[in-house]
Amino acid sequence: MTGFGDRLLAALDQRLPLCVGIDPHPQLLEAWGLPQTPSGLRTFGEITVGAFGDQVAALKPQSAFFERFGAAGIGVLEDVVAGARAVGALVVLDAKRGDIGSTAAAYADAYLDPERALFCDALTVSPYLGFGSLQPFIERAGEVGSGLFVLARTSNSEGASVQAATGPEGLSTAQRIVDDAAAVNAALIADGQSFGSIGVVVGATVAPGSVELGRLRGPVLAPGIGAQGAGGAELRAVFGDLPGVLPTSSREILGAGPDHDALRAAAERTAATLRG
Amino acid sequence: MTGFGDRLLAALDQRLPLCVGIDPHPQLLEAWGLPQTPSGLRTFGEITVGAFGDQVAALKPQSAFFERFGAAGIGVLEDVVAGARAVGALVVLDAKRGDIGSTAAAYADAYLDPERALFCDALTVSPYLGFGSLQPFIERAGEVGSGLFVLARTSNSEGASVQAATGPEGLSTAQRIVDDAAAVNAALIADGQSFGSIGVVVGATVAPGSVELGRLRGPVLAPGIGAQGAGGAELRAVFGDLPGVLPTSSREILGAGPDHDALRAAAERTAATLRG
């Protein structure tokens, strides 16, 4: 079984090195002439998976926009996840889950069990309850070859109030998360993966040097591209030539829809900008 | 419209001052002779709402155990939430959601819109992206009379690594969250509520004095009761005679099931222990 980290490196090499968000915002549904219903959501999912599924390294459905429609929305999410995986895109489910003990294990059941409809290649998780609370996610991800993206230093300005706070050893909370992820990745690499599977989320818009990522040896999900202000120069300033950086963009690319060719062209344009 | 804080104070006065978790763990389903299916989940929900719905101040379904079953599980959660509200229990949906901007607004759509099936009296939210990122939740909760419980200082040992880190002004992350919630509550009280609606989660097992709650003037969700080790003495040591403290227990009470009378007796026993 090839771990998520290794599969991501291959996908970044073989496809457009980009993650496109599947974010069916109310405004986007309207702009695309789709109804604010599970059926509108379904069409949005079919269009985006159809446009990007064979083109980009990863697709990132945002759970919130499906949860808006309750059980019916989650039914659509199941089909979007399955559809994207069927055409070979890595699916990063953006759900920012986090909890402790058997509750964390239940979330792992939901998203990191190949028998479940919402099985994904990687899940975003939140470490407010401590990196150690993520252990059930980490164990399950390892068993099934999936990965995690742990929130570390995010692209929004409010994030610093929590993420830049300092622990007793003088490190920021964000740096401790990165270092804890690095330790898990070191074990995975010792165990035969060539690259770790426990990634972190670090915004492409943060001040360069906010976190030291050199020892991570795992994926980085980098939001903040396009509408939020970061381009190729910011990406290089923050991440240098770090391997496994997955820039993610939603609004700017989706804004070109719903036309199939226009969506693909927008993804190509964004990827070209990032190559710089 | 009566705000959540005021409704919680009334419920703590008129019902058993306790929140019971609706946590359909795999082990509990098995112990209760129920199948590991959405149908088993549904029976579990019917039994717990039937036993506690008219007895305790609040019921707290844990979203993870429903998400395990994908769309079908969320369909059951919709019925549990509606059933609990129909018999007058306050529903605290434990989902620990958190995100930024329009994504946070989409979560608010899902859980804080009276037209949606998962509308709840209060939602647990996670501030890893900064308290400021919760603004869309806060605004929506205010509009519909619901509340929030923001994770501050949780009952698990791993939590301190994030929650006890110190910001530039010398306060812990947990204390900043509490103080930020206090500021919102002060505005709600100035606006006519007698008690705030923006609560925090502080474990009944934390070291007394870990956070200063005196200015909060809003609800506190206090996990850690029973199986996790806290009783009446711990509750008083951590919270003193603070108003609006909602002790929450799951495993110890649910372990008495599935018999209806045994479940009710277990809730009464726990409440009596906490009165001390």
Q: Do B67 and A106 make contact, defined as CB atoms within 8 angstroms? A: yes
pLDDT in tens, B53-71: 999 999 999 999 999 999 9
* pLDDT given for residue A10 in this prediction: 98
Q: Residue B172 pLDDT > 90, yes or no?
A: yes
Instruction: Give the rounded distance of the alpha carbon of A157 from its chain centre.
Output: 19
Q: How many CB atoms lie within 10 A of CB A31?
A: 13
Q: Tokens for B208, please give them.
A: 């007394």
Catalytic residue among B7, B42, B60, B96, which?
A: B96
Report the residue from B96, B162, B172 with minimal CB separation from A99. B96
Residue B65: name the closest of B100, B31, B27 by CA. Answer: B27
Residue A203: name the closest of A180, A172, A178, A235 by CA. Answer: A235
Mean pLDDT of chain A: 96
**Average pLDDT value for residue range A200-211:** 94
**Average pLDDT value for residue range B257-270:** 97
Query: In degrees rounded to 5, what are phi and psi of residue A92?
Result: -100, 110
For A153-169, b/e burial (b = at least 16 CB within 10 A) is: bbbbebbbbbbbbbbee
Q: Do A100 and B75 make contact, defined as CB atoms within 8 angstroms? A: no
Q: Do B99 and A64 make contact, defined as CB atoms within 8 angstroms? A: yes
Q: Residue B230 pLDDT > 90, yes or no?
A: no
- What band does B226 get if pLDDT is binned at 50, 70 and 90? confident
**Average pLDDT value for residue range B186-201:** 96
* pLDDT given for residue B158 in this prediction: 95
* pLDDT given for residue B276 in this prediction: 65
- What band does B51 get if pLDDT is binned at 50, 70 and 90? very high
Domain with residue B122: its CATH number is 3.20.20.70
Continuous H helices in chain B = 4-14, 26-31, 38-52, 63-67, 70-86, 101-111, 135-144, 160-163, 173-190, 232-239, 251-254, 260-275
Residue numbers of the domain that contains A119: 4-269
**Residue B162 CB contacts under 8 Å (≥ 6 apart), including other chains:** A127, A128, A129, A130, A131, A162, A173, A176, B128, B173
Q: Tokens for A220, please give them.
A: 């980085």
Any idea which of A58-67, A111-120, B229-238 has the lowest mean pLDDT?
B229-238
Q: Is the separation of the CB atoms in A45 and A76 below 8 Å?
A: yes
pLDDT in tens, B63-113: 999 999 999 999 999 999 999 999 999 999 999 999 999 999 999 999 999
Residue A146: name the closest of A203, A99, A85 by CA. Answer: A85
Nearest-CA residue of chain A relative to B118? A70
Report the residue from A68, A101, A104 with minimal CB separation from B109. A68
Report the residue from A103, A156, A164 with minimal CB separation from B133. A156
B-chain residues near A172 (CB < 8 A): 165
Q: Residue A276 pLDDT > 80, yes or no?
A: no
Structure letter (DSSP) for residue B15: S
Residue B273: name the closest of B219, B222, B230 by CA. Answer: B230
For a pLDDT cut of 90, what percent of chain A falls above it? 95
* pLDDT given for residue B275 in this prediction: 84
* pLDDT given for residue A230 in this prediction: 82
Q: Do B161 and A132 make contact, defined as CB atoms within 8 angstroms? A: yes
Is B96 annotated as catalytic? Answer: yes
Nearest-CA residue of chain B relative to A251? B102
**Average pLDDT value for residue range B145-152:** 98
Report the residue from A72, A110, A158 with minimal CB separation from B67. A110
B-chain residues near A127 (CB < 8 A): 128, 162
DSSP-assigned beta bridge partners for residue A59: A20, A91
Q: Is the separation of the CB atoms in A160 and A182 below 8 Å?
A: no
Looking at the domain assignment, is residue A73 inside a domain? yes
Query: What value of ipTM does the predicted structure carry?
Result: 0.97
* pLDDT given for residue B1 in this prediction: 83
Looking at the domain assignment, is residue A276 inside a domain? no
pLDDT in tens, A37-90: 999 999 999 999 999 999 999 999 999 999 999 999 999 999 999 999 999 999
Looking at the domain assignment, is residue A148 inside a domain? yes
**Structural domain tally of chain B?**
1
What CA–CA distances, in Å, run from B57 to B85, B242, B266?
Answer: 11, 17, 15
Q: Do A128 and B132 make contact, defined as CB atoms within 8 angstroms? A: no
Q: Is the separation of the CB atoms in A60 and A95 below 8 Å?
A: no
**Average pLDDT value for residue range A4-10:** 98
DSSP-assigned beta bridge partners for residue A121: none
- What band does A240 get if pLDDT is binned at 50, 70 and 90? very high
Mean pLDDT of chain B: 96
Q: Do B25 and A109 make contact, defined as CB atoms within 8 angstroms? A: no
**Average pLDDT value for residue range B130-140:** 98
Looking at the domain assignment, is residue A274 inside a domain? no
